[in-house]
Amino acid sequence: MNQAIRNTWIVALAMFALLFGSLTVVQFFEAENLNANPWNSRTIYKDFDKNRGAILVDGDPIAESVPSDDEFAYQRVYNEPELYAPITGFYSLVYASTQMESAMNDQLSGSGDEFFYEQIMQMFSGGQVEGASVELTLDAELQQLAWDLMPDGVKGSIVVMEPDTGNILAMVSKPSFDPNELAGHNTEEVTQNMAGLEEVPGLSPFINPANESLLAPGSVFKLVIASAALESGKYDADSKLDNPPALKLPGTNVELPNYVNGGCAARTTADFSFALEQSCNTPFAQIAMDLGEDAIAEQTAKFGYGESYQIPTHVTASRFPTGMSDDLLAQSAIGQYDVRVTPLQVAMTSAAIANDGVLMKPNLVRTVRAPDLRVMDSPKPEELRRSLSADNAKLIQDWMVNVVDRGIGGRAAIPGVEVAGKTGTAELMAGEEGNNSWFTGFAPADDPKAVVSVVFEDVDVATGSSLASTSAKQLLEAVLNK
Amino acid sequence: MSNIQTAPRSRRNTELLLLLLALVVGIGANMLVGLDQDRAFDSDFFTQGVTLVVLVLVVHVVLRLRAKYADPVILPIVTALNGIGLAMIHRLDIATGDSAATRQLFWTGVAIAVVVAVIWLLRDHRVLRRFTYLSLIASAALLIFPLLPFIGMEVNGARIWVNLGFATFQPGEIAKITLAIFFAGYLSTNRDLILLAGRKIGPLQLPRWQDMGPMLAAWLVSIGVLVFQRDLGSSILFFGLFMAMIYVATSRVSWVIIGLLMIAVGGFVAFQLFPHVTARINSWIKAFDPEVYNAIGGSHQIVQGLFGLASGALTGTGLGQGRPDLVTFANSDMIIAALGEELGLIGLSAIVMLYVLLISRGIRAALGSRDAFGKLLATGLSFTLALQCFVVIGGVTRLIPLTGLTTPFLAAGGSSLLANWLIVALLLLISDAARRPTMTGPANGSRSPGDRPGRRSKSDERNTGSTEVIQP
């Protein structure tokens, strides 16, 4: 009988051996996978109990965690919520986190590798790792000014960037929203609020339109064609360009006209400067067909098209279509057809020209500071590539100055300062009223302090172009007065 | 007889020392819970601490008086487990605003009162042998109670509860003890008959049909519990208990094979026929299937439990630092997940090791016991504890399907606590009988010096009663 009892004991031990095995699998080998499972709200709950670092602009928190007396230790609060919503994003129990809250989560929550020491200490002390604060490159005054320049009810974006560093000084979009509505801990209320936000026309709370909405660029794309022309070596400042009032597109019955009431009609041949000043369509359409799709595609890539960036928030890749017939290529040359750009990409194009041909990587983060105020990271300006030669860049700078001086960008002129600029109007749908009105430029032209990219979506031509140019002027003026 | 012949020592002082250690573990855990929630040393903490100390010291003193040769490790292990359980239940109370810890403490008190009464009044486990068939009737009654109208209640689909008016109770928990007593009594009396008769087919010695009676009865009880009470866990437990005991009684592997075949057939039919069994199996195999996860009564609970265990990882979040309250039934069915989350793999392994020790001590008592009834009862009870741990922890870690059993001594629940403390009382008595010095030779022979005069006549009486010891 005792042998049977011993055997029973061995069976019991074998069962426990299996239990130790399965515990080890769950708590050790599979732990990482289980913790990463999207159904696992624990990771989020753990984060919501943390004193998450603040997001700062000019030293003031635009997002911060304050002690909370509900089931979580802290509540995320957004100050100036609508002004900064597309940049901060939100930090939500229900909808996870977006934009800066997501991109800088390792730093804000203190969970990144650079917190190794703090994490080890926390394992023994049982305390919580406090997150680092993230100071942005934004300028609070410029941001506010950009916001004020956009009328309510209009959809659009403004980007102001330093061409020599890539630092973004202002980035505003309308319509905006209040991230506090999504950061609450009452999941039912948050779900309702989100449903309400999704009703707002033109608003998507998950994206930053300045970085992630793809728009038809219209004539601001002519800067890319001009660059491609100069870089090809086939064209120079003295090149004579045919400037017919309309161009019959090959293989079709469609005519591509110059703007009927514009100054283009004055000349049937033009140089680059005149073609840009009056934004004539036909010369650029012909250049595009002459250079061919590949040469233009190559130039767009040099300006950063086709690439997505983390700045550190996500920037969607702008695109130039491929495999086009000549008539479509001609339409693409004036920023129509399927050319799609982000407002930031337009700013990057101007920035490369302003910075004598060198494209800097756009950036939103100035410093990452640990809770003990030690600087953990401060991104250095980073050169992406040379987009065009310095000489060619200078030529285009001069032409852009002429656009504002004596061309159709006159409303952007600032007395006593050389302002460089380019307007754009993209038809959204043939025969319909809505247009995207663009302005991009920089000042002072010989030593640019800032580039701007302004776009108003789905507006009529007159209001749009006047709004875009005057907004750009006031922003550049504000930068120069600093 | 296999017990090692050493000079018998009572080892009650060893027990006291270990007991103090166990109390430090349990009460220390409770203190940490309070510290991490910024409410250390509140009134709950003191009530719980002092009550636990008084209760287990009472058991210790009763053992000194009535069963001084009882195994010195069993009580400290159970005290530690009960204390850790109370601390975790208290910790979850703070998160949920419940007062389960107070109820658990009340039931600990009730359980210990019953333990004291059993040790004091029963004194010798062999008395229970007289109640073999009474135990069978009691088992049947206990299992039928929840099915009766008015007093029976259904909770979460299982009809295993009885409403006593002031509290609810799961009679099935007690039934596993009465069943163990019945099996031990029946098998110790009839084992010769069962062993000798029967046909031999190849290497397998098959039992006679009439000897299959109790096995069929056990099988029917298990299936009955599954069908009428919809309680898969208890069903497995009863059948496992019987299998272990019949194996120990007969040393025949053939019985085990027959039993496993029967359970396989029963299990397969149950899987096909009963939706509650199908649901359990699906939640086990397809736990991470979104459809099963989101279904009512689906795998949400087990998956959340796994998340809890995983977030604890190797070292745990620390008591009071995790979110074990995210798991449903965190303080009862899923308390292992809660402990794993906050104490980590290391802490949880230490707890599981306590069970291994406890069960080993129970088996040791069985080996040392001088009568077949005691051997069978101690093995059966120890194996029940082991099987219960296996079913619960295996279920929580997705080794096997999750069933609604509670972790002995840790989980919130009065019936389970009472039943498991009763098992401990019986194991203590059996170990006392096993380790007590044998009185052979003349009645005036040397007694161990610690024996009190008042006990002499009774212990002599018991020793003469042990002539029925059956040698294996």
pLDDT value of position A434 = 78
- The yes-or-no verdict on residue B467 having pLDDT over 80 is no
Alpha-carbon separation of residue A437 from A117, A334, A425, A466 (angstroms): 51, 14, 5, 9
| Contact call for A20 and B359, based on CB within 8 A | no
Chain A residues with CB under 8 Å of B308 CB are: 42
Q: What percent of chain A is helix, strand and coil (3-state, nearest 5)?
A: 45, 20, 35
Is the minimum CB–CB distance between A13 and chain B shorter than 8 Å?
Answer: yes
Residue of B388, B453, B398 lying closest to B284 (CA atoms): B398
Residue B148 lies in a domain: yes
Cis-peptide, bond into residue A175, ω within 30° of zero: yes
Angle at which helices A293-303 and A222-232 pack, to 10 degrees? Answer: 110
Give contacts of A26 with chain B, Cβ < 8 Å: 306, 309-310, 340, 397-398
How big is the A-B interface in CB pairs under 8 Å?
A: 143
Question: Does the beta-carbon distance from A39 to B248 stay under 8 Å?
Answer: no
| A383 — pLDDT class (breaks 50, 70, 90) | very high
**Termini Cα distance of chain B:** 8
DSSP lists the bridge partners of residue B199 as B206
Identify the domain containing residue B105 by its residue range.
Answer: 12-464
Are B359 and B385 a contacting pair, CB within 8 Å? yes
Mean model confidence pLDDT for chain A: 91
d(CA B439, CA B460): 7
Which pLDDT belongs to residue A449?
95
- For residue A17, the model assigns a pLDDT of 97
The pairing of beta strand A241-242 with beta strand A255-257: unpaired
Amino acid identity, residue A304? G
Least confident of A37-41, A344-348, A417-421, B152-156: B152-156
pLDDT tens column, A101-149: 999 988 998 877 777 777 777 666 666 678 899 999 999 999 999 999 9
Span B411-415, average pLDDT: 90
Least confident of A31-45, B294-308, B378-392: A31-45
Asked if A299 and A235 touch (Cβ cutoff 8 Å), the reply is no
Average pLDDT, chain B: 83
Comparing alpha-carbon positions, the chain A residue that sits nearest to B315 is A123
Residues 105-144 of chain A with CB under 8 A from chain B are 123, 126
Domain count, chain B: 1
| Residue A133 CB contacts under 8 Å (≥ 6 apart), including other chains | A53, A54, A55, A56, A61, A108, A368, A369, A371
Q: Which of B37-46, B267-276, B280-289 ranks highest by mean pLDDT?
A: B280-289
Mean per-residue pLDDT for B175-179? Answer: 91
Interface test mutation site (partner A, options B292, B301, B302, B306, max chain A beta carbons within 10 A): B306
pLDDT beyond 70 at A465? yes
Is there a contact between B303 and A20 if contact means CB atoms under 8 Å apart? no
Contact between A344 and A157 under an 8 Å Cβ cutoff? The reply is no
Q: ∠ CA A69-A71-A72 to the nearest 5 degrees?
A: 80
Q: Using pLDDT thresholds of 50, 70 and 90, give the confidence band for residue B472.
A: very low
Cα A135 from Cα A369, distance rounded (Å)? 8
pLDDT tens for residues A160-210?
A: 999 999 999 999 999 999 999 999 988 889 999 999 999 998 899 999 999
B348/A27 Cβ within 8 A: yes
Q: Assess if residue B387 is contained within a domain.
A: yes
Q: With contacts defined as CB-CB under 8 Å, which chain B residues touch A5?
A: 248, 363, 366-367, 375, 379
Q: What is the pLDDT of residue B322?
A: 83
Is A111 marked active-site?
A: no
pLDDT tens profile A100-113: 999 998 899 887 77
CA dist., res. B391 & res. B234, Å (int): 10
Q: Identify which of A5, A9, A18 has the shortest CB distance to residue B394.
A: A18
Please provide the distance, in angstroms rounded to a whole number, between the alpha carbons at the two ends of chain A.
Answer: 96
Residue A436 near residue A455 (C-beta atoms within 8 A): yes
Q: Is there a domain that residue B211 lies in?
A: yes
Q: Which of A1, A7, A120 to mutate to test the interface with B (most CBs of B within 10 A)?
A: A1
Which one of A261-265, A429-433, B176-180, B239-243 scores highest in mean pLDDT?
B176-180
Q: Please give the full DSSP string across B101-116, using - where no structure is assigned.
A: HHHHHHHHHHHHHHHH
Q: Which of B318, B355, B386 sits opposite A126 (nearest CB)?
A: B318
Question: Tokens 């972790």 appear where?
Answer: B407
Q: How far B214 CA sits from the closest chain A CA (Å)?
A: 20
Helices vs strands, H then E, count in chain B: 16, 5
Q: What is the per-residue pLDDT across B37-87, written as a single tens digit (0 to 9) for each?
A: 666 567 778 888 899 999 999 999 999 999 989 999 999 999 999 999 999
- CA B155 to each of CA A425, B162, B231, B404: distance values in angstroms, whole numbers, following the listed order: 69, 10, 11, 11
Residue B2 lies in a domain: no
How do residues A288-328 score in pLDDT, each as one tens digit?
999 999 999 999 999 999 999 999 999 999 999 999 999 99
Least confident range of A46-50, A245-249, B277-281, B417-421: A46-50
For range B222-251, the mean pLDDT: 83
| Beta carbons of B389 and A16 less than 8 Å apart | yes
Q: pTM higher than 0.80 for the full model?
A: no
Alpha carbon of B97: minimum distance to chain A alpha carbons (Å): 12
The tokens of A234 are what?
Answer: 């086939």
Nearest CA in chain B to A5: B248
What pLDDT sits at residue B351? 97
Query: What value does the mean pLDDT take over residues B347-351?
Result: 96
Tokens representing residue B3 in the block: 């017990």
pLDDT band at A38, cuts 50/70/90?
confident
**Residue among A65, A173, A213, A219 flagged as catalytic:** A219
| Chain B closest-CA separation from residue A71 CA (Å) | 9
How sure is the predictor about A431, in pLDDT bands with cuts at 50, 70 and 90?
Answer: low
Residue A170 gets which letter from DSSP? E
Query: Using one digit for the tens of pLDDT, what is the confidence trace for B372-406?
Result: 999 999 999 999 999 999 999 999 999 998 887 88
B463 pLDDT band, cuts 50/70/90, is very low
Residue from A279, A157, A178 nearest A226 by CA = A279
**How is residue B312 written in tokens?**
């604890």
Strand order in the sheet with B152-155: B152-155, B158-163, B168-169
